[in-house]
C-alpha cells in the first residue's frame, strides 16, 4: 500500500533532479570534488537544501498576512579533529562548490591520517510522508479552514473579543554528499496550526492558546473534530485565567502535568546532555557518565525515530540515521547526544543528533523528541498524595543556564492542591530551581506518558530547530514557587 513514502533510492533520484539536473551540475564531478576535499579530514559533508515555506495569519476576522518563500543553497564543511571549516552559498553552481572547496581546504591542515567519523548505514526507513503539504491542499481550502475556525470560536462564547489563527508549513529537500561516494537524501514535510483566543469580562482580559503539528500534511486538520478540539482548548484556558487566584510563594511540592510540561526537562536537563557542552566541560553533567544524576525510576530518552513527530528525522543533518537514545537509566547517566565531530573527539558513536537550522549553518548536537518515560502511578494517586502544593499543567516561557542548570519557568495553567484535591486555578506561578537538583526531587512518576502536540522549537547558538517533548505526570518535592500571594 503506497502511503506517499518514498524509498531511499527514489528520494535520492528526486533530490538529484532538483540539485544537479536543474542546475546543470555533474553529480560525478561534484562527488570527486567532495572526495578530494575531505580526503585527509575525519569528517565533513557537502549539504544541499531547498525549502519552501508558507504562513497564513488570520486575525480580526480577516486574513492579515500571507507569506510564501523559497530558499536554496549549500554548505560545505570539513572537520579535522576539533577544527571546523565551513563555507556556504545560496547560489548552487559547480563554480561556487569549487570555491567553497578551496575555502575549507585553506583552513584545514591536512595530513595523511584518515579516521572517518561515520560510515553509512544501509536501508534507512523513512519516518514521514514524502508529499509536499504546501501543494497537497488547495489554497482556497486553507483560507476556508481559517474562516471556519474564526466563526466557530466567536460563536462558542460571547466573551470572545479576538481570535488569531496561524497556519504554517514547509517542505525541504535535503541531500548530503560525503567522501567515499556516500550519498543521503531526505524529503521533510512540517506543518503547524495555532489558535489564540482573547476573552474579556468585567474589564478583565485573558488569553489562551492551543496548537498542534508534525511531519504530515494539512489534511487531518480539515476534519472538524480535530480543529474544534484545539479551539475549545484555547477558549478553556482563556476563561480559566479570568478568575484565577494569585499563586502562593515559597517552597512547595509540585505536580507537573503530562505532555508539554516536558519542556522543563528539555531545557533544564536535555541541553546539558548534548555532547558539545560535555566535551568542553561546560555542562553540569560533564564527566558524569555512570553516575546518579536523578532519582531512581527516572528514565530519559531522546528519540528521533517516532513516526510523523515534529522532532523526528529519518536522517540527521549529517546523514546519520536517528536513534532512540536512552540518556538516563534508572537515574544513572548512560549517554550524551552526539553529532559526528563530538562523537569522534569523545571516542564514542554518533547518536543521530547532528542538526542545523539550514544550509547556512554548521550542525551541532541537538535534541529531537526528548521525554521522561512512564512510571507506575496514576495521576489520581499522585495528586491525592499531596497535602498542599501546585499542579502545573502547562508552561509558558522559561530561562535556563546550561552551565549551572538553574531554571525559571512560568506556568500558563496551574491549580492549587489541598488535602489531595485540585481546588482552584492560580495565576502567576513561577517555578524556580536547578535542573540537576530537581531530578533528584522526583518522588512519583505517572503511567500516563504523553508527548506534546507538535509545537516546539528549540533555540541554541542562534539556530532554531523543531523538537518534541513529553513526560507522564510527575511529583517533585520542594520546588520554589515565585508567586504573588505570600
Q: What is the pLDDT of residues 379-438, one digit of tens each?
A: 999 999 999 999 999 998 777 887 888 889 999 999 999 999 999 999 999 999 998 899
**The domain containing residue 447 runs over which residues?**
246-482
Query: Among residues 90, 72, 76, which one has the least CA distance to residue 15?
Result: 72
Q: For residues 128 and 189, is the Cβ–Cβ distance under 8 A?
A: yes
What does the chain come to in residues?
A: 486
Kindly state whether residues 103 and 140 are assigned to the same domain. Answer: yes
For the stretch 234-258, pLDDT in tens is 999 999 989 899 999 999 999 999 9
Q: Which of 224, 240, 256 delimits the end of a domain?
A: 240
Burial (CB < 10 A; 0-12, 13-18, 19+), residue 102, is exposed
Question: Residue 254's beta-bridge partner residues?
Answer: 390, 476
More confident residue, 310 or 223: 310
Band the pLDDT of 287: cuts 50, 70, 90: very high
d(CA 242, CA 345) in angstroms, rounded, equals 53
Please check whether residues 250 and 235 belong to one and the same domain.
no
User: Residue 19's domain is classified under what CATH number?
Assistant: 3.30.2290.10
pLDDT band at 4 (very low <50, low <70, confident <90, very high): confident
- Which cell goes with 261? 510540561
pLDDT (0 to 100) of residue 34: 96
All 3 cell numbers of residue 227?
A: 480543529
Of 240, 265, 280, which closes a domain? 240
Exposed, middle or buried: residue 348 (CB in 10 Å: 0-12, 13-18, 19+)? middle
pLDDT of residue 124: 81
Find the helix or strand (DSSP H, E) in which 64 lies: strand 62-80
Report residue 112's pLDDT band, with 50, 70 and 90 as the boundaries. very low
State the DSSP H helix or E strand holding residue 432, giving kind and residue range, or none if neither. strand 430-434
Q: Which three cell numbers stand for residue 271?
A: 541541553
The count of structural domains within the chain is 2
Whole-angstrom distance, CA of residue 83 vs CA of residue 69: 34
* Cα four-point dihedral sign 86, 92, 96, 97: positive
Domain annotation covers residue 3? no
Alpha-carbon distance 469 to 294, whole Å? Answer: 18
**Nearest C-alpha neighbor of 102 from the set 30, 33, 181:** 33
Q: Classify residue 2: in a domain, yes or no.
A: no
Q: Is 282 left (phi over 0), alpha (psi -120 to 50) or beta?
A: alpha
Residues 105 and 62 in one domain: yes
Are 312 and 419 members of one domain? yes
What pLDDT was estimated at residue 115? 57
Amino acid at each position: 500500500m503506497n502511503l506517499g513514502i518514498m524509498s531511499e533510492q527514489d528520494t535520492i533520484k528526486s533530490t538529484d533532479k532538483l540539485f544537479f539536473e536543474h542546475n546543470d551540475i555533474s553529480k560525478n564531478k561534484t562527488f570527486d570534488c567532495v572526495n578530494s576535499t575531505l580526503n585527509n579530514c575525519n569528517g565533513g559533508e557537502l549539504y544541499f537544501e531547498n525549502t519552501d515555506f508558507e504562513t497564513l495569519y488570520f486575525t480580526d476576522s480577516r486574513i492579515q498576512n500571507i507569506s510564501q518563500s523559497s530558499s536554496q543553497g549549500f554548505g560545505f564543511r570539513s572537520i579535522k579533529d576539533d577544527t571546523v571549516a565551513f563555507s556556504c552559498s545560496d547560489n548552487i553552481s559547480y563554480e561556487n562548490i569549487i570555491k567553497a572547496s578551496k575555502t575549507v581546504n585553506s583552513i584545514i591542515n591536512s595530513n595523511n591520517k584518515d579516521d572517518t567519523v561515520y560510515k553509512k548505514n544501509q536501508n534507512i526507513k523513512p519516518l514521514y510522508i514524502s508529499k509536499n503539504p504546501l501543494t497537497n491542499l488547495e489554497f482556497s481550502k486553507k483560507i476556508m479552514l481559517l474562516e471556519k475556525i474564526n466563526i466557530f470560536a466567536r460563536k462558542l462564547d460571547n466573551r470572545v473579543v479576538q481570535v488569531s489563527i496561524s497556519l504554517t508549513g514547509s517542505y525541504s529537500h535535503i541531500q548530503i554528499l560525503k567522501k567515499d561516494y556516500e550519498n543521503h537524501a531526505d524529503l521533510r514535510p512540517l506543518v503547524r496550526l495555532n489558535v489564540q483566543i482573547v476573552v474579556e469580562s468585567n474589564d478583565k482580559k485573558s488569553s489562551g492558546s492551543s496548537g498542534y503539528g508534525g511531519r504530515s500534511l494539512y489534511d487531518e486538520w480539515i476534519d472538524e473534530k480535530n480543529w474544534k478540539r484545539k479551539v475549545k482548548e484555547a477558549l478553556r484556558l482563556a476563561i480559566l485565567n479570568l478568575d484565577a487566584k494569585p499563586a502562593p510563594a515559597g517552597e512547595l511540592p509540585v505536580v507537573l502535568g503530562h505532555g508539554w510540561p516536558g519542556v522543563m526537562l528539555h531545557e533544564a536537563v536535555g541541553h546539558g546532555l548534548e555532547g558539545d557542552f560535555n566535551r568542553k566541560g561546560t555542562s553540569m553533567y560533564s564527566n558524569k557518565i555512570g553516575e546518579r544524576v536523578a532519582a531512581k525510576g527516572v528514565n530519559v530518552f531522546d528519540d528521533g525515530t517516532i513516526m510523523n513527530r515534529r522532532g523526528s528525522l529519518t536522517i540527521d543533518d549529517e546523514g546519520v540515521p536517528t536513534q532512540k537514545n536512552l540518556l538516563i537509566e534508572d537515574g544513572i547517566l548512560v549517554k550524551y547526544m552526539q553529532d559526528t565531530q563530538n562523537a569522534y573527539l569523545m571516542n564514542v558513536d554518533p547518536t543521530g543528533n547532528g542538526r542545523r537550522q539550514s544550509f547556512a549553518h554548521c550542525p551541532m548536537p541537538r535534541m529531537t523528541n526528548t521525554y521522561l518515560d512512564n512510571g507506575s502511578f496514576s495521576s489520581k494517586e499522585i495528586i491525592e498524595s499531596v497535602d498542599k502544593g501546585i499542579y502545573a499543567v502547562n508552561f509558558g516561557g522559561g530561562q535556563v543556564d546550561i552551565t549551572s542548570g538553574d531554571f525559571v519557568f512560568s506556568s500558563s495553567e496551574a491549580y492549587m492542591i489541598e488535602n489531595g484535591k485540585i481546588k482552584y486555578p492560580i495565576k502567576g506561578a513561577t517555578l524556580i530551581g536547578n535542573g540537576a537538583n530537581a531530578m533528584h526531587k522526583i518522588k512519583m512518576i505517572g503511567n500516563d506518558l504523553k508527548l506534546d502536540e507538535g509545537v516546539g522549537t528549540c533555540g541554541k547558538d542562534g539556530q532554531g530547530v523543531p523538537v518534541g517533548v513529553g513526560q507522564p505526570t510527575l511529583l517533585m518535592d520542594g520546588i520554589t514557587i515565585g508567586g504573588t500571594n505570600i
